[in-house]
Structure 1
């Protein structure tokens, strides 16, 4: 199979503070109403910030991931035989109480144990991989799956990702003054104060075009291109001119065989932090040149929050759902333009999708950058 033959997305399922299932996610991002509320899951006394985008009732991470994988496989029409040949790529750092601990202890199992547990429960008989590379974990897993399927090593991969807001990471981001003290995420906007965390448990079934066609499987979208690049600039900050992210986008376009002008929407990584949003805007300027200010852009983190390791997969699903629906989601929290972010940010209401092609971008501490280019079926 040629690497440029587009990878099929044949099944998806997502859970976030916007609700359970693809329909709830689509409705929530198109409504553009942020899901940030006071945290009830754990005590936030003494914290600078006390809000996040969390589900009111949630199971263990293992149970939520099992349900998401099973539902995505059902949506893709995978029977027991097809599941038995599928590999599982899992993006998560695990977190407290990911799995029941022998003897009732408090130590969470290692992430590989969680991946094996999920594969057994969902009937996935292939090998498992785990990704713990911070906020590019899930998008890196998708890129790896696309590469392995694209060169014919695999027919089918289930990529799953999960993050449930928990006290340890919350405390780290709050102590680092990365959380928005005004309780709103305002990507690319003047007056932006930082990020807010959010729940996400997501699963996506990826297949070769041949394997999907052999089953008569539905196509939710295609992954046309993918790219990864590093800044090697700073442990926490991206390059101010967005060098790494720009290279990742350029690689995705080359792999897809599409010109930059074909892109009609960017679901940005933008977290609402002053430095990184400006860097991302610079990266888009490097890639798209004079037309960068005319490509619709939004960051749906402004609605569902930052899901850390799971962000890349949640935002991939958001992007393919909105493309399929023909509407582009808003960038909530907007106060006004910022000269460091000269972009066409979608602020008032969803817009019609001008083309079937879109980018979804992610970046992480350490200078890691990913770009996934997806197309409506």
Structure 2
């Protein structure tokens, strides 16, 4: 591979239905109690499903993203000079946003956030649905790894709002029973959730130069398409399997090095079975032993922000040596023969050196991020 410089994560921040801050997110996920509740943010009268994972008091998406960028930079210990050297990669929905003085599109939002956060005038915007944030991380890691950039702030945001909510509800994609049950028999669909996240990625050299401790290393990343159907995933999971294999190759690691998978699994019948097939394709018999969970079962699906929200969960779980549970699980589905982490009264310590976090989107886009101890 062309990349030579190790890529470190030196600062994170996350807002979710569990509260503000990455610690609140991790505590909520490890507790295994889903954050889904009746939506109060807008009128859901006439909707088939009326619940989501939302934080009661939030500002505008632009304001919450600005806070996330600033908080992550402070967590990474970035002073003004080093912020000014950092690019900003933003993952968000491509629709209108409300900014002071106008600027209704996502590129304007990225510029606004970069200026407000004291970052470089070098931005990228990702609007590729549910792989937006993970694609941004992969691109940032590629550019850092080959020496083009020293530092990138990746930010992503989605706050549950009426338009996307109505589309998913009309499409009968939501779980009618109000619970997300990834890989489980009886799963009925997904539920949306808030997610506003920022992560600071740096080259190992740049981080060491300023004495910055690292939370994790982004060891590998991969992307692949299904080329199968506009909406339905490939039942054989071939695209996602290729993404995982690419991440392992880039990291120079065998499949057996992976000790945990934070799956994309949304709780929908076809996509969960396809993902299970992908994991079996990559890991073979190991797929029945590697611990797997989907944290969407607790914090909901944050659409464009999902990849970054779940990356933060995975990094923090890795550091604490305790794996998130797969909430809502009822019983084994023979189409998903995996080692699912089911809820227990006390999370079980499970130290592991490497973990995968996976994402997939309509259209057959797939991403895999492999993280490890720095």
Q: Could you tell me how far apart the structure 2 residues matched to 1:236 and 1:101 are?
A: 38
* Structure 1 residues 119-153: Cα deviation after superposition (integer angstroms, max 9, x where no partner): 01000024000000000000000000000011110
Q: Give yes or no for contact 1:250–1:287 (8 Å, CA) kept in 2.
A: yes
Deviation for aligned residue 1:355 = 1.8
Distance change in 2, residues 1:101/1:272 (3 Å): farther
Stretches of structure 1 that go unaligned for 5 or more consecutive residues are 103-107
Match of 2:248 among 223, 245, 253: 253
The 3-state SS of whatever aligns with 2:267 is coil
2:153 is equivalent to residue 161 of structure 1: no
Q: Could you tell me how far apart the structure 2 residues matched to 1:147 and 1:325 are?
A: 27
Alignment of 1:7-46 (within 5 A): 7-46=7-46
Q: CA RMSD in A?
A: 1.3
Alignment of 1:122-271 (within 5 A): 122-271=117-266
2:114 is equivalent to residue 119 of structure 1: yes
Match of 1:364 among 361, 364, 369: 361
Q: Could you tell me how far apart the structure 2 residues matched to 1:63 and 1:200 are?
A: 13
Deviation for aligned residue 1:95 = 4.7
Q: Structure 1 residue runs of 4+, over 3 Å off?
A: 94-98
Q: Give yes or no for contact 1:61–1:99 (8 Å, CA) kept in 2.
A: no
The residue number in structure 2 matching 1:281 is: 276
Q: Give yes or no for contact 1:55–1:199 (8 Å, CA) kept in 2.
A: yes
The residue number in structure 1 matching 2:104 is: 109
TM-score (norm 1): 0.97
2:61 is equivalent to residue 61 of structure 1: yes
Q: Give yes or no for contact 1:4–1:255 (8 Å, CA) kept in 2.
A: no
Q: Give yes or no for contact 2:38–2:52 (8 Å, CA) kept in 1.
A: yes
Q: Give yes or no for contact 1:357–1:374 (8 Å, CA) kept in 2.
A: yes
Q: Could you tell me how far apart the structure 2 residues matched to 1:18 and 1:276 are?
A: 26
Q: Give yes or no for contact 1:4–1:257 (8 Å, CA) kept in 2.
A: no
Deviation for aligned residue 1:238 = 1.0
Deviation for aligned residue 1:356 = 1.3
The 3-state SS of whatever aligns with 1:310 is helix
The 3-state SS of whatever aligns with 1:328 is coil
Q: Give yes or no for contact 1:4–1:224 (8 Å, CA) kept in 2.
A: no
The residue number in structure 2 matching 1:301 is: 296
Stretches of structure 2 that go unaligned for 5 or more consecutive residues are none
* Structure 1 residues 195-249: Cα deviation after superposition (integer angstroms, max 9, x where no partner): 0000000000000000000010110110000000000100111100100000000
Q: Could you tell me how far apart the structure 1 residues matched to 2:261 and 2:255 are?
A: 11
Worse overlay, 341-350 or 257-266:
341-350
Worse overlay, 1-10 or 260-269:
1-10
Deviation for aligned residue 1:100 = 4.3
Q: Could you tell me how far apart the structure 2 residues matched to 1:203 and 1:189 are?
A: 31
* Structure 1 residues 284-333: Cα deviation after superposition (integer angstroms, max 9, x where no partner): 00000011110000000000000000000000000000110110010000
TM-score (norm 2): 0.97
The residue number in structure 2 matching 1:105 is: none
Q: Could you tell me how far apart the structure 1 residues matched to 2:101 and 2:210 are?
A: 39
Distance change in 2, residues 1:96/1:37 (3 Å): farther
Q: Could you tell me how far apart the structure 2 residues matched to 1:290 and 1:371 are?
A: 20
Q: Could you tell me how far apart the structure 2 residues matched to 1:67 and 1:80 are?
A: 16
Q: Could you tell me how far apart the structure 2 residues matched to 1:360 and 1:217 are?
A: 24
Deviation for aligned residue 1:6 = 2.5
Q: Give yes or no for contact 1:60–1:99 (8 Å, CA) kept in 2.
A: no
The residue number in structure 2 matching 1:351 is: 348
